[in-house]
Amino acid sequence: MRARDDVTTRPVQVQIPVAVAVAVQVQVACYRPGVPARVVCSAAMPVDLVSLLGDGVELDAPAPGQARFSPDALRARVAEADALICLVTDRIDAAFLAAAPRLRVVANYGVGIDNIDLAAAARRGVAVTNTPDVLTEATADLAFALLLAAARRLGEGERLLRAGRWGGWEPGLLLGVPVAGQTLGIIGMGRIGLAVARRASGFAMSVIYAGRGRAVAAADALGARQVTLPELYQAADFVSVHYPLSAETHHLVDRAALAAMKPTAILINTARGACVDEDALAEALAAGRLAGAGLDVYDGEPAVRAALLACERVVLAPHLGSATTVARRRMAEICAGAVRAVLDGRRPDTLIGARGEEGAA
């Protein structure tokens, strides 16, 4: 690999989000002709990244048959990397960034950016990007699929049938709760929250929402009504979480919140696992204080709490929110475009700080 003096830099002003509260000079690398930029991708992608990145790039990605680099392998590979495309489950903290002195851009393959230490990136002049908008509809589809599956106990029914324990139609078999005409409570009315509200309108559901979000005006136009969080917990038949993870939203749905919900209510989480106190959720489900749950994200994933795995009334999905061919390809295209922009000395369109972020992937 080339020495550090093989690059020249020029400053680009980047405003990091309010939570970081600093303005920094991001040094965007401009590479000399004939010297390839080293780009590391932490996981295998369902697209041809080499073609998307274009000329003058050396790509280091997992070999065929290998899903992703281990944390240690990834850290070793970024030691001489100019750019990184990472997953939302890759922890990019201050120590990681310090081990990558040449790094100029981290392109996060997802919307949520709670896996990246933005302050540390700002101090080192590393641009951070994400993939907004393109996974909104896919994630909303998945949230509503979980809602329907949990309401109608589809997971339990499939397990019963596959185990050969179904004895035929019975009037009282796996009775669920209705969806049409019920009240949906959305926590966080951003892009994904609004998309879920649109789907709820097709089921003639009443929609209430709590908390901040960029789509409040559009939600009001749909007939959704803003309430306080305690009011939402008490009134909703379904509660769907769509907040990004932060210090303020960690265990936002805690033991007290679960106790305030109707015993017939169902909780849906497609945001971040740690937004929900999963131990308290498992206890509430086991005790019958909650009718069910649908989860796509987990605190500490890919590990899932044994108590949740043992609970019949929870539908579990392996972080599939954005898992459509269209969404995942577009996410890769956005990451590659952001990397290319920084390597070419341009400001990437999806630079963090230009918009508010949502907590989904």
Structure tokens at 90: 């890759």
Whole-model pTM: value is: 0.85
Share in percent of the chain as helix, strand, coil (round to 5): 35, 20, 45
Residues in the chain: 361
pLDDT of the chain along its 361 residues, tens only?
A: 333 333 333 333 334 443 333 333 444 444 445 679 999 999 999 899 999 999 999 999 998 888 999 999 999 999 999 999 999 999 999 999 999 999 999 999 999 999 999 999 999 999 999 999 899 999 999 999 999 999 999 999 999 999 999 999 999 999 999 999 999 999 999 999 999 999 999 999 999 999 877 788 899 999 999 999 999 999 999 999 999 999 999 999 999 999 999 999 999 999 999 999 999 999 999 999 999 999 999 999 999 999 999 999 999 999 999 999 999 999 999 999 999 999 999 999 999 953 334 444 4
Q: Catalytic amino acids?
A: 272, 301, 319
C-alpha 150/C-alpha 166 separation (Å) is 19
What secondary structure letter does DSSP report for 107?
E
Sequence-distant (6+) residues with CB within 8 A of 184 are 147, 196, 197, 200, 205, 206, 207, 208, 236, 237, 238, 240
Asked if 274 contacts 248 with a C-beta cutoff of 8 angstroms, the reply is: no
The single residue listed with the structure tokens 């929870």 is: 314
Domains of the chain, earliest start first: 4-134+325-343 (3.40.50.720), 136-164+175-316 (3.40.50.720)
